[in-house]
Amino acid sequence: MSLHKPWRTRIGALSVVLCGTLASTLLTAAGARAEDSTWTVRDQPDGPRAELRLDRATGSLGLTVSREGGTVIAPSPVGIVTERADLTSGLGFLGRSDRSVDEHYRTGAGKTRSRTVHMRESRFRFRTAAGARLDLLVRASADGVAYRYVLPGDTGNVLREASAFTLPEGASAWLGNYRKDNENLFNAYSATGAPAGEYMMQGLFRTKGGYALVAESDVTGSYSGARLVHDTGSPTYRVKLWDEQVQVKGALTTPWRAVVTGDLATVTESTFTDDLAPAPKVRDTSWIKPGRALWTWLAGGRPAGRSLEMQKGYVDYAAARHWPYTVVDAGWYFDPDQWDVTDPGWQSHSWIPELVRYGRERGVGIQVWIHHRDLDTAEERAQWLPTLEKWGVKGVKIDFMDSEAQETFRWYDEILPETAAHHLLVNFHGSTIPKGIQRTWPHVMSLEGVNGEEKKTNTAQHLTTLPFTRNVIGSMDFTPGAFHRPNRPNAASDAGELGLSALYESGVQNLAGTPESYEARPVARHFLEQLPDVWDDTRLLAGEPGSSAVLARRNGSRWFIGGTYAGTAHTAEVPLRIGAGRWLVETVTDGPAGLVRTARVVRGGDALSVDVVADGGFAAVACRWAPGRTSCDR
């Protein structure tokens, strides 16, 4: 299957078609004819097509997604049930209106900082015989289809959605079992053969119509987080809400149910879930600065969090590497030998201001870990956040929300503007997954929501699946670079571990190794010193979920490439899809005596041959070749 993006030239006449003959776009339920019960929404002739069908016998709705003549999502139920109305059947069509969605925005982090959005949106209006109203908003773009419910009246609390995704025959699936912090392995199944159970709302499917990543966007405290539920032998994955009842007062607009679809490159490079989210709510973004960080938890554990001297040593090491941050993890405010947080004068006892001063003198910003329970009330936030800003802390890593309940999303709604007001970057751990949050709140640098480097259960197959699932929908704090960890699945491949630093995107790339492990691997240290803090573009070069993944990310004129593989040792042939002309490519691979850095000249579009060890990988940097140029260093 082609890895190339669909042609994205915007055409003047957008294809939005009513299937069948419509005398008018404003029809009453009584006046609608049978042939008027199917409608199509499409942005481009070669893009995905959403087909909405109203079963006139039952008054129920179904949605189909197709692409290039193949079915991506088979007819799937659409509808919602509230305390006062069952909006899954008995619906009559009232009318339809259409508009174009054209936007441009910049993000603080992500696959690309500058983004242009073009979508077609159709609003379909329905009413039950009892007068309950339901509007269904459907959007289509070059890389996805999404829908959401709008309840214009006061219909009471939401009990459930009928929303589901039915896969066509023969579809494959990559799914992770659901858990409250979204930290589980992805595994491969057939779509019908996956075990019965609940799965994370980031399921990837391969169909004859292309790939489809099911996700959601724009989840706030007005609603509840969702997961996918599968029954034995069924091709259907139902949407289940965290809360038994979603509390609603007045009108309601639900989150988007999204299908990112296209060939594998289109899905991997997509920003569709961000594009669906509301516009940024932070006006002044000059203080928002992504960057690499020396993460001191895997490097030093809780003792490091309790020691100012150890933290100063990490600052010195980060400064020498030109890494802009260090992250002080758990322990710094729990040590009874330092100070007691129940003491009214606790702020004066912390050594964090001294560390901030020390780091500032060396060009290194300090970020700190803090437990959710210490920020879960307005009073606690009013104590902590101004204090951290006063100290000069650059960001907070907030941990252990462990919930996707409506109440938790209300907490996100409260803390996001508060952290922005105090100029604090945010990294959420033990959390939900992005769901468009980084567009609306660009100071959110990353979220965990991944079975990352800390875990001892990772597999090489999981590593190769993440670029096509979890990392598609937003920054992912996997924390690569822990060369000293013997239980990592690529333990025999330091080159593979190094490649993860470019393969996985995170606004704050928390590098998890020890200074000693970097010093023992000067080739890896050199690559990490060159690694940029932000990306201008991202391209999939090669890969297949569960087998391999090779991505190239551009900063300015240089491309950084990361590759990971599951399976036996072999020579990988990677298409250098980064532009025409000659490129100087420096690869880092595993050699008999350690990492090997090799420079060669390759033409854009040609294959880059790379030797990889079993369950291994590689890292590379490419720059324009010129006579006499032997390095891509700056």
pLDDT at 362: 98
Q: How far apart are CA 465 and CA 186, in angstroms?
A: 7
Render pLDDT for 538-582 as a digit per residue (tens, 0 to 9): 999 999 999 999 999 999 999 999 999 999 999 999 999 999 999
What span, in angstroms and rounded, lies between the C-alpha atoms of 367 and 466? 26
Mean pLDDT of 403-424: 98
> Superfamily assignment of 289-449 in CATH?
Aldolase class I (3.20.20.70)
Right CATH for 456-473+494-505+535-634 from 2.60.40.2310, 1.10.260.40, 2.60.40.1180, 3.30.479.10? 2.60.40.1180
Find the Cα–Cα–Cα–Cα dihedral 626, 628, 629, 631, rounded to 10°: 160
510: closest CA among 197, 205, 221, 299?
Answer: 299
- Complete DSSP assignment for 316-338: HHHHHHT--EEEE-TTTTT-TTT
CA neighbours within 13 Å on the CB side: how many for 306? 10
- Tokens read off for 206: 């391969």
Decide if pLDDT at 333 tops 90. no
Question: pLDDT tens across 499-517, in order?
Answer: 999 999 999 999 999 999 9
Section 141-162 average pLDDT: 96
Q: How much is the pLDDT for 340? A: 56
Q: Does position 236 have pLDDT exceeding 60, yes or no?
A: yes
pLDDT score at 344: 58
pLDDT, residue 24, reads 33
Strand pairing category for 365-371 and 395-399: parallel
Global pTM value: 0.93
Q: What is the DSSP letter of 478?
A: -
Residue 354 identity (one-letter amino acid)? E
Mean of pLDDT values over 231-249: 98
* Angle subtended at Cα 553 by Cα 547 and Cα 557, rounded to the nearest 5 degrees: 145
Instruction: For strands 197-199 and 210-217, give the pairing.
Output: unpaired
* Contact assessment for residue 586 and residue 598, using Cβ atoms and an 8 Å cutoff: yes
Kindly give, in sequence order, each residue whose CB lies less than 8 Å from that of residue 526, ignoring residues fewer than 6 positions away. 597
Q: What percent of the chain has pLDDT over 70?
A: 92
Give the model's pLDDT for residue 295.
Answer: 97
How far, CA to CA in Å, does 448 sit from each of 382, 510, 523? 25, 11, 28
Nearest 5°: phi and psi at 384?
Answer: -75, -50
Given pLDDT bands bounded at 50, 70 and 90, which one contains residue 346? Answer: low
Q: Confidence class of residue 85 from pLDDT cuts 50, 70 and 90?
A: very high
454 labelled catalytic:
yes
Q: Which two tokens stand for residue 183?
A: 């930290």
Residues 179, 200: Cα–Cα separation, whole Å? 7
pLDDT at 598: 98
d(CA 453, CA 462): 12
Question: Pick from 590, 529, 531: which is nearest to 561 by CA?
Answer: 531
586 is catalytic: no
Rounded to 5°, the CA angle 427-428-430 comes to: 145
pLDDT, residue 153, reads 87
What average pLDDT does this structure show over 80-87? 97
Percent of the chain residues past pLDDT 90, beyond the cut? 89
Record the tokens describing residue 265, joined without a space: 């490159």
**Which CATH architecture fits 34-276?**
Distorted Sandwich (2.70)
* Cα dihedral across residues 389, 391, 394, 399: positive or negative: negative
User: Which one is catalytic: 46, 454, 529, 537?
Assistant: 454
Catalytic residue among 399, 477, 494, 615: 399
Q: For 252-387, list the strands marked E by DSSP.
A: 252-253, 256-262, 291-295, 325-328, 365-371
Mean pLDDT value of segment 229-248: 98
pLDDT at 240 over 70: yes
Pairwise CA distance, residues 375 & 398, whole Å: 9
In this predicted structure, the answer to whether residue 404 has a pLDDT above a threshold of 60 is: yes
Chain segment 93-112, per-residue pLDDT in tens? 999 999 999 999 999 899 99
3-state SS track over 196-238: CEEECCCEEEEECCEEEEEEEECCCCCCCCEEEEECCCCCEEE
Across 469-475, average pLDDT: 98
Whole-angstrom distance, CA of residue 265 vs CA of residue 4: 6
Q: Over the stretch 278-298, which tens digit does the pLDDT of each residue have?
A: 999 999 999 999 999 999 999
State mean pLDDT over 457-466.
97
Q: Which of 5-9, 208-212, 534-538, 550-554 has the lowest mean pLDDT?
A: 5-9
pLDDT confidence of residue 11: 36
pLDDT surpassing 50 at residue 44: yes
Structure confidence at residue 509 (pLDDT)? 98
CA distance 41 to 14: 10
- Please answer whether residues 38 and 138 qualify as being in contact, where contact means their C-beta atoms are separated by less than 8 angstroms: no
What does the pLDDT read at residue 446?
98
CA–CA distance from 412 to each of 195, 219, 403, 406 (Å)? 33, 10, 11, 10
Placement of tokens 């999502």 in the chain: 73
Instruction: For tokens 């009874």, name the residue.
Output: 336
Q: Measured between alpha carbons, how far is 225 from 548 in angstroms, rounded to an integer?
A: 31
pLDDT computed for residue 341 by the predictor: 52
Tokens 């269904």 correspond to: 136
The pLDDT of residue 174 = 98
Distance CA 121, CA 131 (A): 25
**Cα angle for residues 370, 371, 375 (degrees, 5° grid):** 90
3-state secondary structure of 297: helix
Burial class (CB in 10 A: 0-12, 13-18, 19+), 224: buried
Whether 255 and 180 have beta carbons less than 8 Å apart is answered as no
> Mean pLDDT across the chain, nearest whole number?
93
Residue type, 388: L
Grade residue 1 by pLDDT with cuts at 50, 70 and 90.
very low
pLDDT at 166: 98
Element (H, E) at 70: strand 70-78
185-205 burial by CB neighbour count: b if 16+ within 10 A, else e? Answer: bbbbbebbebeeeebbbbbbb
Provide the residue ranges of all domains of the chain, joining segments of one domain with +: 34-276, 289-449, 456-473+494-505+535-634
Answer whether 60's CB lies under 8 Å from 88's CB: yes
Nearest to 94 by CA among 133, 140, 50, 137: 133
| pLDDT of 337 above 80 | no
Mean pLDDT across 587-596: 97
- Distances in Å between the alpha carbon of 408 and those of 212, 222, 415, 551? 28, 11, 11, 34
